[in-house]
């Protein structure tokens, strides 16, 4: 019996028992799908995070403060800044020109007077208070250490919207789960300007009404409010236009409160930090944290792969079981084959080809299904990331996973089918024909 005859016979057998064949293929399909989906998701997740690490982003950013570096702390992740020092356009340009810097995002903040309509637990009006408002370019939010936890981010350039932090919720006596309560609330915020009539100074407020549209966790700068750069800059300009503004209101003189510097790759973070320190500014970057993240990502990938492989092994056991049942059911058929001259190795070949066919089909369908599941998961993830104003993920299906899924399923099926094939081949012809 040739290989061609064996394949024809195997296909015919599969077609004659479509239910069993379908269930066997389905088992392999589901296992291969699970493996493909897990590997695709873990590869994409790792690529995404490693992209952040290698090409820059919130994880690989360096925070530059408007302050002198403290020589004793330059190598610490969260170094304490030294004496205040103006961070102006010249310094920004100098840092931007560093060879391993990809992007420099300015951060401005200002202290504002806030009136909230919220009331405390006893129903009393909350006294007006002063708090820092952090202004950033909201188009570059995905590169900053800012995470949306409820609602949405203010529209880019908007002067009528702000997001608040957990600190604001705590000020109102609210917990994290109460965040939706503050969404839509309108606040009155004012920046002060010192004016003089020649004899006395007084503070004149520039009030603006803003709506809370979201709750964020942010580490860009200290402050319970996140707004557009325009909102903060207008407030700073108003304050700066007053007489002797910096001393009367204790306002910062630095044009920028800080800079968020994105290095060209995680490997350049230390070098860029040292260069910025040499320019004369204090920096902070989570270098130790990043090293830990990389290690844990590897562990996650190994665990996910192990889960997929376990699923494949279970599927292989299913194939083996189905083939053993087939041998038992088809004893008479095996006997007839042997009676008309088929050798042991011919019977062995028929059963092995049948197992291989089931494994191959399961591998093909499973890989396709796994990709489909990964794509759906990717769609959900991208929807979430889009709501967070973050860059979406691009799913990557490594060719190794495709080839490995199909070839691996086929090989595993062949291995699983070996024992039943050997049993079928060794079945004595007379015993097989008699069906005993």
Partner 1 sequence: MAPDRARPSTRALVVVGVVAVLLFGLLAGCSSGSSGTASEAPPVTDPVAPVVYVALGGMETLNADRRDLPDNWPQLLFAEHMAPGGVYVNLATEDGTVKSAIDGQLPAALGAHATVATVWLESADLRLGTPLRVYRDELTTLVDDLQAGGMKVYLLRSGPSVPTDVAAPLQSTVAVVAGQTGATLVDLGDISDRNDDAGQRRIADTVAAAIGADLGGR
Where does this chain bind partner 1 (CB under 8 A)? Answer: 16-20, 22-23, 26, 115, 117, 125, 128, 148-152, 155, 157-161, 180, 183-184, 186, 188, 195, 197, 204-214, 241, 373, 376-377, 379-384, 387
Compute the least distance from the CB of residue 9 to partner 1, in Å. Answer: 14
Q: Quick one: 116 or 275, whose CB is closer to partner 1?
A: 116
Q: With CA atoms as reference, report the closest residue to 165 among 179, 144, 145, 155.
A: 179
Terminal-to-terminal C-alpha distance of the chain: 26
Q: Quick one: 30 or 101, whose CB is closer to partner 1?
A: 30
Q: Quick one: 373 or 415, whose CB is closer to partner 1?
A: 373
Q: With CA atoms as reference, report the closest residue to 354 among 6, 2, 1.
A: 6
Q: Quick one: 81 or 378, whose CB is closer to partner 1?
A: 378
- Start-end of H helices in 176-250: 179-182, 229-240, 245-249
Compute the least distance from the CB of residue 48 to partner 1, in Å. Answer: 17
Rounded Cα distance, 151 and 172, in Å: 18
Rounded Cα distance, 75 and 283, in Å: 9
Q: Which residue has the tokens 């012809």?
A: 429
Compute the least distance from the CB of residue 432 to partner 1, in Å. Answer: 16
Q: Quick one: 174 or 377, whose CB is closer to partner 1?
A: 377
Q: With CA atoms as reference, report the closest residue to 147 among 130, 161, 166.
A: 166
Compute the least distance from the CB of residue 22 to partner 1, in Å. Answer: 6
Do 194 and 247 contact (CB within 8 A), yes or no?
Answer: no
Compute the least distance from the CB of residue 105 to partner 1, in Å. Answer: 23
Q: Which residue has the tokens 């006893």?
A: 122
Compute the least distance from the CB of residue 331 to partner 1, in Å. Answer: 13
Q: Quick one: 376 or 403, whose CB is closer to partner 1?
A: 376
User: Beta-carbon neighbour count of residue 324 at 10 Å?
Assistant: 16
Compute the least distance from the CB of residue 50 to partner 1, in Å. Answer: 24
Q: With CA atoms as reference, report the closest residue to 424 among 329, 339, 356.
A: 329
Contacts of residue 23, defined as CB under 8 A and 6 or more positions apart, other chains included, come to 322
Q: Quick one: 225 or 281, whose CB is closer to partner 1?
A: 225
DSSP 178: G
Q: Which residue has the tokens 């202004």?
A: 135
Do 364 and 357 contact (CB within 8 A), yes or no?
Answer: no
Q: Quick one: 16 or 121, whose CB is closer to partner 1?
A: 16
Compute the least distance from the CB of residue 422 to partner 1, in Å. Answer: 25
DSSP 173: T
Do 192 and 162 contact (CB within 8 A), yes or no?
Answer: no
| Residue 412 Ramachandran class (φ > 0 left, ψ -120 to 50 alpha, else beta) | alpha
Compute the least distance from the CB of residue 193 to partner 1, in Å. Answer: 9
Q: Quick one: 160 or 305, whose CB is closer to partner 1?
A: 160
Rounded Cα distance, 407 and 404, in Å: 5
Compute the least distance from the CB of residue 214 to partner 1, in Å. Answer: 6
Q: Quick one: 155 or 314, whose CB is closer to partner 1?
A: 155
Q: With CA atoms as reference, report the closest residue to 262 among 121, 104, 115, 125.
A: 104
């Amino acid at each position: 019996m040739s290989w061609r005859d064996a394949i024809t016979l195997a296909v015919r057998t599969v077609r004659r028992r479509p239910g069993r064949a379908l269930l066997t293929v389905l088992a392999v399909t589901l296992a291969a799908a699970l493996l493909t989906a897990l590997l695709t998701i873990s590869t994409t997740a790792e690529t995404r995070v490693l992209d952040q690490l290698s090409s820059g982003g919130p994880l690989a950013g360096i925070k530059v403060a408007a302050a002198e570096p403290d020589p004793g702390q330059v190598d610490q992740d969260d170094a304490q800044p030294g004496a205040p020092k103006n961070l102006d356009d010249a310094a920004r340009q100098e840092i931007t020109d560093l060879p391993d810097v990809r992007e420099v995002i300015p951060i401005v903040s200002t202290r504002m007077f806030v009136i909230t309509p919220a009331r405390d637990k006893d129903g009393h009006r909350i006294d007006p208070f002063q708090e820092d408002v952090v202004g950033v370019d909201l188009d570059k939010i995905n590169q900053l250490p800012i995470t949306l936890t409820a609602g949405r981010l203010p529209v880019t350039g908007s002067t009528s919207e702000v997001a608040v932090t957990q600190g604001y919720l705590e000020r109102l006596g609210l917990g994290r789960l109460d965040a939706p309560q503050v969404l839509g609330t309108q606040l009155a915020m004012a920046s002060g300007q010192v004016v003089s009539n020649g004899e006395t100074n007084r503070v004149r407020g520039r009030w603006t009404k803003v709506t809370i549209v979201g709750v964020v966790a942010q580490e860009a700068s200290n402050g319970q409010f996140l707004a557009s750069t325009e909102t903060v800059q207008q407030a700073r300009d108003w304050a700066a236009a007053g007489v002797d503004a910096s001393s009367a209101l204790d306002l910062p003189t630095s044009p920028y409160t800080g800079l968020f510097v994105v290095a060209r790759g995680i490997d350049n973070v230390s070098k860029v930090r040292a260069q910025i320190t040499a320019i004369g500014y204090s920096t902070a970057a989570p270098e130790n944290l990043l090293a830990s993240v990389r290690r844990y990502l590897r562990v996650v990938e190994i665990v996910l792969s192990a889960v997929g492989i376990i699923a494949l092994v279970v599927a292989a056991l299913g194939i083996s079981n189905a083939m053993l049942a087939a041998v038992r059911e088809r004893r008479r058929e095996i006997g007839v084959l042997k009676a008309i001259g088929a050798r042991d190795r011919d019977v062995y070949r028929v059963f092995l080809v049948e197992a291989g066919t089931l494994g191959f089909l399961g591998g093909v369908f499973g890989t396709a299904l796994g990709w489909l599941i990964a794509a759906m998961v990717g769609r959900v993830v991208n929807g979430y990331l889009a709501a967070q104003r973050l860059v979406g993920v691009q799913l990557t299906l490594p060719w190794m996973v495709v080839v490995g899924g199909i070839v691996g399923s086929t090989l595993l099926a062949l291995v699983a089918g070996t024992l039943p094939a050997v049993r079928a081949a060794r079945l004595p012809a007379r015993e097989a024909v008699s069906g005993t």
